[in-house]
Each structure stands twice: as C-alpha cells, then as structure tokens.
Amino acid sequence: MKSDEFGPVVVSANDLLTGNVIFLTEKPDWTTNIHEAYVINDKAESCRWLLEGEVQQSLFSDNLFSHVVDPYLVELKIDKEVISFCAFKEALRYYGPSNYFHGKRDWEIV
C-alpha cells in the first residue's frame, strides 16, 4: 500500500469469554467470520469504527455486558473479492495454529 492510500481494513478483537478472534460487522455486531466483517477503505471512517469497537468494549449494564477485548485495525488485501491478510501473523490468528487441525478452521501450512 502506498503511503497516501488507505485500507482495506477491518476492526478485530478477542471475545472475552472464549478468547476467540472476532470482527466488527456493519450492524454493528461481532462475528468470527471475516467475510461478514465490515470492510473499511477510508481512514477517517476506520477511526470512527475503531471507536465504535472500543465503545462496545465498555458497554456495561444489568443486561448487556462486554464480550470484546482490545479492538484494533487489521489490514487486508482484497483481490477479485478474495480476502487475505497483509500480515502473516493476522492470517495465523484467523485460521488457527498450524500444528493441529483442531484450530478454528482448516489450515494449510504456508
């Protein structure tokens, strides 16, 4: 990505109860499926959506409690609607560990 270009990015966090990797949707809600995540292509918009994630982290009431820990922005590559992660670390985080197939998804060792 050139310095004056931005995105695409998504807001990601960990689920409080399971630690699982989750992504912010347009609703806004959280999903474990990257294909359901809201993809952002504008820097100002990404700040707003990150703030939305952070607000959700601290939404507490008698009936509603936080299931979100430490939201942050994750960079993607989208080529002909195929989504991939810019950083290897983020791909591994999404697909699960490479030593066992009991992770979150099937994983081919890169």
Can you give the binding site for other proteins, defined by CB under 8 A? 14, 16-21, 57-58, 60-61, 65-66, 69-70, 86-89, 92-93, 96-100, 102-104, 109-110
In the complex, minimum distance from the CB of residue 54 to other proteins, in angstroms, rounded to a whole number: 11
In the complex, minimum distance from the CB of residue 8 to other proteins, in angstroms, rounded to a whole number: 16
Our CB check for other proteins shows the closer of 43 and 89 to be 89
In the complex, minimum distance from the CB of residue 95 to other proteins, in angstroms, rounded to a whole number: 9
SS3 97: coil
Q: In whole angstroms, what is the distance from residue 64 CA to residue 43 CA?
A: 30
Q: In whole angstroms, what is the distance from residue 31 CA to residue 67 CA?
A: 11
